[in-house]
Structure 1
Amino acid sequence: MWYLYGLALLAGIANAVQGGTNATLAKALGQPFAAGLVVALGTGSTLLLTGLALGRFQWPGLVQAAQVPAWAWFGGCLGALVIVSQFFAAQAIGAAPFLGLLVTAGVATSIVLDHFGWIGFAVHAASPWRIVGGLLMVVGVTLVALF
C-alpha cells in the first residue's frame, strides 16, 4: 500500500506542473476551450492506452452503467472546471498560490465530505485536529499568496 502514497505524491507534482502547461497551451493557441479539448483528448488517450497496456480496460455493461448514481457521471465536468481555472488563473496568480488554493479548498471540502460520508466516502468525523489542520492550511496558503 505504500506505493499509493508515492502515486499521490507524483499526482501532486503533476498537478503543480499541469497548471503551467495547460495555461501555456491555452495562451499559445489563443483558444482556451480548444486547448481544453486537447487536454481532454490527451487525458482520454493516456487512460485508454494505459488501461490497454495493463490489461485492465473493459467497457461496463448497460446493467453496470444503470446502477451508477446520477451524480457520479459529472466528474468530468468538475475536471473541466479545474482545467479552465488553470487557463485563466494559474499563470496570473502564480503556481504556489494557485496550487495552494486548489489543495486547501480541496482539503476543506474533503473534511466536510468525510464528516458526513457524502458521495461515497467513508465517515471520518471532523475532529478538532482535522479542523485545526485545515485552518493551518488556510494560514499557510495566505502566507504563500501574500509573500
Structure 2
Amino acid sequence: MWYLYGFALLAGVANAVQAGQNGTLSKGLAESLVAGLVVAAGTASCILAVGLISGRLAWPTAAQALGMPWWAWFGGVLGGGIILAQFVVARQIGAAPFLGLLVTAGVATSIVLDNFGWVGFERHPASLWRILGGVLMIAGVALVALF
C-alpha cells in the first residue's frame, strides 16, 4: 500500500509543475486556446488509457448524464493525474493523508520551483522561513498519515 502514498506525492508535484507548464505553453503558442486543447487532450488521453487498461471505464447512462449539474462536467480542467489520484488513492489511504500529501508536495515543489524560477515561475528565493514552513508541513502530514 506504500505505492499509494507515492502516487499521491507525484500528483502533488504534478499539481505544482502543471501550472507552470500550462502557462508556458499558452505563452509560447500563437493562440492560447490551442494550449487549452492540448491540455484537455492530454487529460482525456490519460483517463481513457488508464480506464481501458484497467477495464474500469463505463460511460454514464442518459439518466446519470442528465442528472448532473452543468458545472460538474468541467472537473477535467484540473488535470487527469489529479483526478486519477483522487479516484485511486484517496479512498484507500483516507482524505486527510491524501490531501495532506497532495498539498504538502505541491508546497514543497513550489518552494523549489520559485527558488529556481523553473517552469515559467518568477524567482522567489527559498528563505529560511519558507523552508521551515515546508518542513513543518511534512512533519504535520507524517503525523496525520501515521495516526
Higher RCO structure, 1 or 2 (CA under 8 Å, sep 6+)? 2
